[in-house]
Amino acid sequence: MRSPVTWWNDPWRPPRILVGVTMAYLAWSLIPVLIAVIFSFNDGRSRTVWQGFSTRWYFGDPVKSVWHDATLHTALLQTLKLGVITTLITVPLGVMFAIGIDRWRGRLPAGANMLMLVSFVLPEVLLAVALLFVVTSLSLPVGLGTGAQVLGLVTFQIAYPAVLVRARLATIGTQYEEAAMDLGASPLAALRRVTLPMLLPAIFASTVLVFADVIDDFVLVRYLSGTSATEPVSVKIYNSARSAPTPALNALATLLLLAALVAVTAGYLVYRRLTRGDTTTDRGLAGFAGEG
């Protein structure tokens, strides 16, 4: 046992306060959500008093469970639908944009890059109001509802794959592509057969991140939803959280949580597989989340 004085004088002593703050933060950030999940299995109507375990708010209750209440499961389906459609449009668009911007020399691409980064940090409500004005005051073929929601979400999310792919392009460098072209490949062939395979992990990670982000979106999808049929889960929670809802709302939120958890976990496992034996990528979670 070391004396407190030696402990205090040890220059490499792990600072206890940092451990404390980190643990306290994690508890504060995750326990409330955990409690909300637990109460989705409550047998009674209360979201504050535990009355025994049941799955009645998932499918047991013939009227108010997520399975039987149409307003709840349409919201879940709408959320997943928006997630899939938006991801399918955003990722190719963002990847092409990133590759193009990265190599294209001139003032125009520099401006486009700025524009992309601005769309990354702009408060979401500003874009949402602007798009709402566009859809309601111009006669467009796209009305409020899924179409407008997808337009808005793609615009807001396009920076995600673009930033991730550009970061990856910077670490790859140009030497592989130049080698391919020296060996006779056209720029397009070098891109397709050398660069794209090397970008695959970043592209994949951004696919997962865009999907996870879209199914959590609230501001854009709320303004651009037409009727209650196109209101996704987040809007449903916002609308009913303060008006004495049943634990079915918690159940709905838990199902969304589960969808995101499955997407992110499966995504991470595939990402590990894609980067197997790759020493140029951060294979850890940080690399997957685009912070590597």
Partner 1 sequence: MMPHGTTSGGHSRPEDPDPVTVAEDLASVTPAAKHARTNALWAALAAPGVIWLLLFFVGPLYVVLAIVFGRTDPIFRTAIPVWNPLQWNPSQFNYVLARIFGADGVFGPALLRTAVYVVTAGVLCLLIAFPVAYYTARMSGRWKGLLLALLIAPFWISYMMRMLAWVNLLQDDGLVNRLLSLGGLFDVRVHWLTGQPLVVILGLVYGYVAYMILPLYAGLDRLPQSTLEAARDLGASRVASFWRVTLPMCRPTIIAAVLLTCLPMLGDYFTSDMLSASPRTSMAGNLINDSVQSPGQTGQAGALVMLVLLVAVLPMFYYVRSTARGDLSS
Q: Which of residues 182-211 bind partner 1 (CB under 8 A)?
A: 184, 186-188
**In the bound complex, what is the minimum distance in angstroms from residue 24's beta carbon to partner 1?**
9
Nearer CB in complex with partner 1: 4/62: 4
Nearer CB in complex with partner 1: 201/235: 235
**In the bound complex, what is the minimum distance in angstroms from residue 238's beta carbon to partner 1?**
6
CA distances to 61, 69, 227 from 64, in Å: 6, 5, 21
Among residues 24, 22, 56, the alpha carbon closest in space to that of 42 is found at 56
**In the bound complex, what is the minimum distance in angstroms from residue 10's beta carbon to partner 1?**
11
Among 74, 87, 149, 155, binds partner 1 (CB under 8 A): 155
**In the bound complex, what is the minimum distance in angstroms from residue 81's beta carbon to partner 1?**
16
For the beta carbon of residue 177, count every other beta carbon within 10 angstroms: 20
Nearer CB in complex with partner 1: 8/277: 8
Site track for partner 1 across 99-138, x = CB under 8 A: xxxxxxxx-xxx-xxxxxxxx-xxxxxxx-xxxxxx--xx
Nearer CB in complex with partner 1: 226/292: 292
Part in contact with partner 1 (CB under 8 A); list of ranges 1-9, 16-24, 64-72, 269-277: 16-24
**In the bound complex, what is the minimum distance in angstroms from residue 41's beta carbon to partner 1?**
13
**141 touches partner 1 by CB under 8 A:** no
**In the bound complex, what is the minimum distance in angstroms from residue 61's beta carbon to partner 1?**
19
For partner 1, the binding residues in 212-231 under the rule CB under 8 A are 212-213, 215-216, 218-219, 223
| Total residues interacting with partner 1, rule: CB under 8 A | 100
Q: What are residue 53's DSSP bridge partners?
A: 42
**In the bound complex, what is the minimum distance in angstroms from residue 26's beta carbon to partner 1?**
5
For partner 1, the binding residues in 51-110 under the rule CB under 8 A are 93-94, 96-97, 99-106, 108-110
